[in-house]
A and B are shown apart, each in its own frame.
Chain A
Amino acid sequence: MKKIIALILTTLAIATLFTGCGKKNQTDLEYVKEKGTLIVGITDFEPMDYKKGSEWIGFDADLAKKFGKSLGVKVEFTEINWDNKVMELDGKQIDCVWNGMTLTDEVKNAMSTSEAYCNNSQVIVIKKGAKISDTAKEGDDFKGYKFAVEKGSAGKDMAEKYGYEYTEVDSQAKALMEVNAGTANCAIIDSLMAAAMVGEGTSYSNLKYTVSLNEELYGVGFRKNSDLTAKLNEFFKTAKEDGTMQAIAEQYKVQAALIK
């Protein structure tokens, strides 16, 4: 009998250990402020979040640090298993996902998402001085033009969608080389890459990028019903107005994808 009672008591003790200090009626903002840290779930993803020495930098990382400062909390980055991002949020292992996350329906259903801050669209890259309008995107405009696209990429999907004549190459970088060498007239790559590698001050200063063929919007995810989402939208607004966002974007060469 004594042993049974001991058993029940132990079970209860373990149960209270789990439930003990979960506070109800606390908003996410209050929760983050009380513990003094904003934990940002990321993966290693240049140029958004990546490591320089032991520090996480990148367009997303730097903006997140600024956001943390505006809240008056420390920002901690933790690498997560991307497949588990929703569990990580809901289990309070992290407070937000800020990692060049595409705002798919799936993401929008499972999280409270911020307004999009980047549009990592597929863009057309062409030699400067080409006789093609910067807004042209229909297949007819490009009669006789050869495209280079990365194997199996979103760029290839676009080439098919618009009916371009294309060849598949190993990588986006290879596609640019083809245009530069004249073996292709155009390439389709994503705008983050284009901003970093094409135009003045890059290795392909004789190339330019033109029209966006699709939309791939990046946003930040919070727990459902979090009041941090509104806070971040406010922060984005001021960061756009005072030029902070543009400056950081240029530092990491993602300005082409920035939503103004």
Chain B
Amino acid sequence: MSFSQQLPIVFEALNVGFLQTLKLFFVTLLGALPLGLLISFGSMSKFKPLSGLIKTVVWIVRGSPLMIQLLIIYYFPGLVFQNNIWGSGENGRFLAAAVSFIINYACYFSEIYRGGIQGVPKGQQEAGQVLGLKKNQIFFKITLLQMIKQIVPPMSNEIITLVKDTSLARIIALQEVIWAGEAFMKGSNGISGQIWPLFFTAVYYLAFNGILTLLFGKLEKKLSYFK
């Protein structure tokens, strides 16, 4: 098969794979951004058993490889409890991958949030209190934006890492873009022994991360009006 005949087949397969990559990315963000905030509140809780428990969980999740977490979350229920809770097929794999990524990234995000919240001077909260604002009003009207400004740089770092980390999900056979690229090495759709599709997947990551970098740059600039 000539190169020009391979091109459309390879691109179609890579596009399908990258759609999975994007799906995992956005679902992870959607879950991990709010969950991370809850975890950060929990880790700052004055109720010691709760904050202790959460700190231990965060330590375990941040201290062990995401690849192992994927294997454990996907295979453990079936292996140990004889009950595969994920069902069969692609959807189960996606769900398990999404849960692993959300938990993992929520823990990373929680630490960034904690830094952000604690980075807002206590006086801000007190100023809100003496003006008679309630706790949630203080958080949303005063603390939140200051926190966001502080966490944008570390967050953008972490989110760009997330884009690339999605490729780890192929350990549980989630067919993301690198899986799709690798398939042409072993042979798929009549094309075999081709290495270039695998390398070409990097272009997808670069393009998408380029867009993200631009967006984060814009956000940072937008928040630069105050200190």
Contacts and interface: CB of A to CB of B under 8 A. Distances in A.
B193 A18 contact: no
Given A51-B189, A171-B193, A78 B88 contact: yes
Interface stretch (A38-46, A203-211, A237-245): A38-46
A39 B88 CA distance: 7
Interface residues of A, number: 33
Interface string B159-191: 000000000001111010000000100111110
Which of B78, B88, B189 is the most central at the interface, judged by chain A CB atoms within 10 Å of its CB?
A: B88
A108 interface: no
B202 interface: no
Interface string A13-54: 000011111111000000000000101000111100011000
A80 B173 contact: yes
B89 A39 contact: yes
B41 interface: no
A197 to B, nearest CB: 14
Contacts of A20: 83
Contact of B74 (A17, A23, A51, A91): A91
Contact of B173 (A3, A7, A84): A84
A79 B89 CA distance: 8
B49 interface: yes
Interface residues of B, number: 34
A9 interface: no
B81 interface: yes
Contacts of B189: 51
A81 B49 contact: no
B175 to A, nearest CB: 7
B85 interface: yes
B53 interface: yes
30 contacts: A7-B50, A17-B85, A20-B83, A21-B83, A22-B81, A22-B83, A23-B82, A39-B88, A44-B186, A44-B187, A45-B187, A76-B88, A76-B89, A78-B89, A79-B173, A81-B170, A81-B172, A81-B173, A84-B71, A84-B172, A84-B173, A88-B75, A88-B173, A90-B78, A90-B79, A91-B76, A92-B84, A93-B74, A93-B84, A93-B92
Given A3-B50, A23-B82, 18 more contacts: A3-B49, A18-B85, A19-B81, A43-B186, A76-B88, A78-B173, A79-B173, A80-B173, A84-B171, A88-B173, A91-B74, A91-B75, A91-B79, A92-B78, A93-B74, A93-B78, A93-B86, A171-B193
